[in-house]
Structure 1
């Protein structure tokens, strides 16, 4: 059915292979695109879809397709996660944490991100992200010179605040920012209602 399969079918097809989940993760690390229902809403939670083949992993010494980067070792995964505080660097959730308003628990993984260094060199660096955030951040490149340039354009007070956030590796959101974040998650009808009510305050 259009390259759709389940883990149960995989286990049945490869009974001699243990840790199917880990094997699938290894394939993704080598450039294979295998969609879940997070990327493809037409899939059931138990289903996955083969989208694109990556590196020919049956060949000895094969690395991730198109990247020249070898698979991430277990020790390196632990190091990266420890450096990142064992938290998703985008949303801040811990592994096993429950997403707000959802019964889904977070799974942390290691993502490769392209970073353009001052001078133009583009390197691939590793960062901890939950599966949900990792999907939205694929193929994103960060330009450090651009980021630093925008920091330089801030006022001295703004730079001081930003430097403190960097030092603490966290920031506290004001009540207004928290309310704005909650408002942004509302459906269109409820946003319109809040908009109308604000005019009567």
Structure 2
């Protein structure tokens, strides 16, 4: 099917915005809010219609996902559903209100549920501070259906986790097979909201991150201590 022109006034603003990104901006390229205003002069909330494309699988990054972008810049990363085709782009919008955003952040403890980093903390080995926002996560239920739920994630994990589907049904099935001791231990961690790692567990995590030459030295050192 041939794509219509993004300048066709008979199309809705969101459809025209999608076509403008494909035909004018191009995947991988950067655009600004001013570019949107110039492309759609006199059109109310044109920038919002661009954001609405994310609800249809379009990846449009801001500086929250891509630290190389300026405050007013966005990057058109990947096209999603061709919203200009008949029957497409009709899904109701799922914009997250500021009130709902605050509720989810408070519920999740104001830190990234994927990696545990808090807002403003610096990522290891970088000068980049984490920003926490709300991500939509697909969750597979016990009956096989998939729903979309909201979770707090940092800018890195939101980008890396796109397309991830959490398997709640599998987790619940595994929960039924746990021993009484394991269930008690897990419930304790859940009630506290964290778990304490033993010295051996934290040592193991640090050891695994070493290059093989250094791992060999650690193994030899432990053997000498054990003898």
Superposed pair shares fold, TM > 0.5: yes
Residues 12, 112 of structure 1: alpha-carbon distance in 2 compared, 3 angstrom cutoff: closer
- For 1:52, the equivalent position in structure 2 comes to 78
Q: Per-residue CA shift, 1:126-169, capped at 9, x if unaligned?
A: 00000112223222222223112222222211110001111222
State the SS of the aligned residue for 1:142: strand
The yes-or-no answer on 1:32 pairing with 2:58 is: yes
The yes-or-no answer on 1:10 pairing with 2:32 is: yes
Correspondence list, 1:147-186, <5 A: 147-186=171-210
Q: Which moved more, 1:26-35 or 1:77-86?
A: 26-35
- For 1:102, the equivalent position in structure 2 comes to 126
Residues 174, 92 of structure 1: alpha-carbon distance in 2 compared, 3 angstrom cutoff: same
CA distance in 2, matches of 1:66, 1:140: 24
Q: Is the 8 A contact 2:119 2:132 kept in 1?
A: yes
Which one has the largest radius of gyration?
A: 2
CA RMSD of aligned residues (A): 3.8
Q: TM-score, normalised by structure 2?
A: 0.65
Q: TM-score, normalised by structure 1?
A: 0.72
CA distance in 2, matches of 1:196, 1:37: 46
Q: Is the 8 A contact 1:29 1:72 kept in 2?
A: no
Deviation at 1:46, TM superposition (A): 4.5
CA distance in 2, matches of 1:108, 1:156: 36
Q: Which moved more, 1:114-123 or 1:163-172?
A: 114-123
Deviation at 1:70, TM superposition (A): 1.5
- For 2:170, the equivalent position in structure 1 comes to 146
Aligned partner of 2:151 among 107, 127, 132: 127
Q: Is the 8 A contact 2:61 2:75 kept in 1?
A: yes
Structure 2 unaligned spans of 5+: 1-24, 39-46
Residues 150, 108 of structure 1: alpha-carbon distance in 2 compared, 3 angstrom cutoff: same
- For 1:187, the equivalent position in structure 2 comes to 211
- For 1:19, the equivalent position in structure 2 comes to none
Q: Which moved more, 1:73-82 or 1:122-131?
A: 73-82
Deviation at 1:26, TM superposition (A): 3.4
Q: Per-residue CA shift, 1:34-64, capped at 9, x if unaligned?
A: 4689999xxx93587533234689x9xxx9x
Structure 1 unaligned spans of 5+: 17-21
